[in-house]
A and B are shown apart, each in its own frame.
Chain A
Amino acid sequence: MAGPVGRYPDSTGRRAFRYLLIAAVAVTFVLSLRTAQVDPRLLLDPQALSNVARFVSGALPPRVDREFLAFLVRPIAETVQISVMGMVLAVLIGAPLGLLATSSLTWRGILHERATRAGRVLGGLLPYGLARALLSVFRSIPEYVWAFMFVRAVGLGPFPGVLALGVAYGGMLGKVYSEILEGVNPRPLEALHAAGAGKSGVVLYGLVPEALPHVVSYTLYRWECAIRASAIMGFVGAGGLGQQIELSMRMFQFDEVLTLLAVLLALVGAVDFVSGRVRAKVVG
């Protein structure tokens, strides 16, 4: 009586498909093992070990003199600012595209039962497809490559890092937001819709409140990743701690590298702490 809510009989075709899938995964794994040249013995090679030893002995003790630490203040602040501004931009890109990429909101399912075919395609499927395509372009190009391009476009410094984070992470946020929104129980939404609410009403009073904990949680997790990513992007000149790590590595100043990595670890830990507090407040 509940209507067309999914019943998926486990047909023979479906079962055959499943075996095929398992076989494909197994073959892929074996092939990858060969082509990725996985060979643990290389790690124990004397040459490799002596290289590691050189790195480790060079790194210890880490450089913690006053001059170096004072010098670090700026890159640290820069890294935090890049990650924060990058996330703001990512949310501004990801949230609207994520909503458009939510099929239950744009063209499929109970809210669109009465829409005409033309209306569904033009008003729903088209923007949905465009949003999804845009999101996959944004997130399949690594932030490192975006940063490289933006450095060419706007010059060295934190700004290209912000742009790169915003675009790449906007793509990821949008994709995950749409998946979270699709997972929201459609029945309360149906009730709002049946009472005459428009799309914005359904979004504000149904979708967003139901999805908010997951959305906030995932966004905070991404912020944590953004701190690390801003270090990588520094390698191509997009400012922050990364740029400093790259410089120190190139100069074989492993004691500085170790300090920088410790700072990065502390930053990630601090972000983890802050996001934990925020998460507890929102999810509670």
Chain B
Amino acid sequence: MYELADVRKVFDDGSVALDGVSLTVGRGEHVAFIGPSGAGKTTLFRILNLTLRPTGGTLRLDGIDVATLSGPALRRARMRIGTIYQQHNLVGRLRVVHNVLAGNLGRWSTLTALGSLVRPREAGQAARALAQVGMPEKLHARTDELSGGQQQRVAIARVLIQAPDIILADEPVSSVDPTLAVSLVILLRDISSESRKTLLMNLHSVDLALTYFPRIVGIRDGRVQFDLAPDKVTAELLEELFAGHADEEREVAALRAGMSPFGRACRPLPGFDR
């Protein structure tokens, strides 16, 4: 699905966000990305969803070098990748139904898109997607009147409508409470498994990553620090990954002491005293 070879990203201000990332992700795989804030995970996801262009290296999507894509071909490729953001990135003033149906914009003509704002097209489809994320009754609510967790569900429903082959979730649960976080991660995992979608997720919570993902990639200073199955990710590796980042170090220490904000929802981690 994805092949990254020595992908680099240097921003115009000279800051190096990615410093040579090489990685292969197969179809249907579920991968969690962890690492301290500022490690370059969000930049990596913005490159993976074809928003940013790497300044070095190559990114292949199903064998095609995405640097060669432009115009309609680029839009078609983007349609195959659904992204969920930490801040939902919904249009607050639109009703939920329109935010959900916006997943169709890659397919719709301008006229169809305009017409749907007047009279929602395929509202049934939107209702089914909302039902799938567990809030069918909110179809006609104003989006900015929903809670953070509900908005994240709307964002997931939008991705369902988009029907991509790949789902990228960039810190999707950082702004919701722990119970909701677990249910959203499970929801995304189940949705992806059902239709064999590839799922890549940036996670701030190490224990969510280790519990729900079969493959863990640790990113630090724009490089891949490790790429392992969760049972191979030791406390020492995590301490090294987060070294120098006080907040995250404290969280890893708490995990080692057997304290997880998610309680029973996350299984005990191997190699941790519990």
- Point out residues on A near B: beta carbons under 8 Å: 1-4, 7, 110, 113-116, 119, 187-188, 190-198, 200-201, 204-206, 209-210, 212-213
Shortest Cβ gap from A105 to chain B (Å): 14
Please name 15 further chain A to chain B contacts, defined as beta carbons within 8 Å, in addition to the given A114-B50, A196-B78, sorted by A numbering: A1-B37, A1-B39, A1-B42, A2-B42, A3-B11, A4-B12, A110-B51, A192-B105, A195-B82, A195-B105, A196-B162, A198-B106, A200-B110, A205-B105, A213-B93
**A3-B17, A3-B46, A195-B79 known; A187 and B89 CB under 8 Å?**
yes
Q: Is there contact, CB below 8 Å, between A205 and B93?
A: no
Alpha-carbon separation in the docked complex, A8 to B254 (Å): 37
Alpha-carbon separation in the docked complex, A143 to B15 (Å): 49
Residue in A110, A195, A209, A212 whose Cβ sees the most chain B Cβ within 10 Å = A195
Shortest Cβ gap from B201 to chain A (Å): 15
Q: Is there contact, CB below 8 Å, between A190 and B89?
A: yes
Shortest Cβ gap from A160 to chain B (Å): 34
Alpha-carbon separation in the docked complex, A196 to B76 (Å): 6
**A3-B42, A196-B79 known; A201 and B108 CB under 8 Å?**
yes
User: Which chain A residues lie closer than 8 Å to B225 at the CB level?
Assistant: none
Alpha-carbon separation in the docked complex, A222 to B74 (Å): 41
Determine if B132 is an interface residue (Cβ-Cβ < 8 Å).
no
Q: Is there contact, CB below 8 Å, between A114 and B75?
A: no
A199: nearest chain-B partner, CB-CB: B110
User: Which chain A residues lie closer than 8 Å to B51 at the CB level?
Assistant: 110, 113-114, 190, 193-194
Q: Which of B81, B82, B91 contacts A188 (CB 8 A)?
A: B91
User: Which chain B residues lie closer than 8 Å to A190 at the CB level?
Assistant: 51, 89
Binary per-residue interface labels of chain B (261-273) against chain A in the complex, 1 for a CB within 8 Å, 0 otherwise: 0000000000000
Q: Is there contact, CB below 8 Å, between B93 and A195?
A: no
Shortest Cβ gap from A95 to chain B (Å): 14
Chain B interface size, under 10 / 10 to 19 / 20 to 34 / 35 or more: 35 or more
Q: Is there contact, CB below 8 Å, between A194 and B102?
A: no
Q: How many A-B residue pairs have CB under 8 A?
A: 113
Q: Is there contact, CB below 8 Å, between A204 and B85?
A: no
Sorted nearest first, the 6 A-B pairs with minimum C-beta distance are A196-B106, A196-B79, A197-B105, A201-B105, A191-B89, A200-B110
**A3-B17, A114-B51 known; A204 and B42 CB under 8 Å?**
no
B13: nearest chain-A partner, CB-CB: A4
Alpha-carbon separation in the docked complex, A120 to B270 (Å): 52
Alpha-carbon separation in the docked complex, A115 to B53 (Å): 9
User: Which chain B residues lie closer than 8 Å to A113 at the CB level?
Assistant: 51-53
B202: nearest chain-A partner, CB-CB: A1
A200: nearest chain-B partner, CB-CB: B110
Cβ < 8 Å to A, chain B residues 13-39: 13, 15, 17, 37-39
Determine if B220 is an interface residue (Cβ-Cβ < 8 Å).
no
Determine if B94 is an interface residue (Cβ-Cβ < 8 Å).
yes
Residue in B51, B103, B114 whose Cβ sees the most chain A Cβ within 10 Å = B51
Alpha-carbon separation in the docked complex, A196 to B79 (Å): 5
15 pairs of residues in contact across A and B, judged by CB atoms under 8 Å: A3-B42, A4-B11, A113-B53, A114-B53, A187-B85, A187-B87, A191-B90, A194-B83, A195-B82, A195-B103, A196-B79, A196-B162, A204-B110, A204-B117, A213-B93
Determine if B113 is an interface residue (Cβ-Cβ < 8 Å).
yes
Determine if B150 is an interface residue (Cβ-Cβ < 8 Å).
no
User: Which chain A residues lie closer than 8 Å to B83 at the CB level?
Assistant: 191, 194-195
Q: Is there contact, CB below 8 Å, between A197 and B102?
A: yes
Alpha-carbon separation in the docked complex, A116 to B74 (Å): 12
Alpha-carbon separation in the docked complex, A119 to B69 (Å): 13
Alpha-carbon separation in the docked complex, A194 to B162 (Å): 11
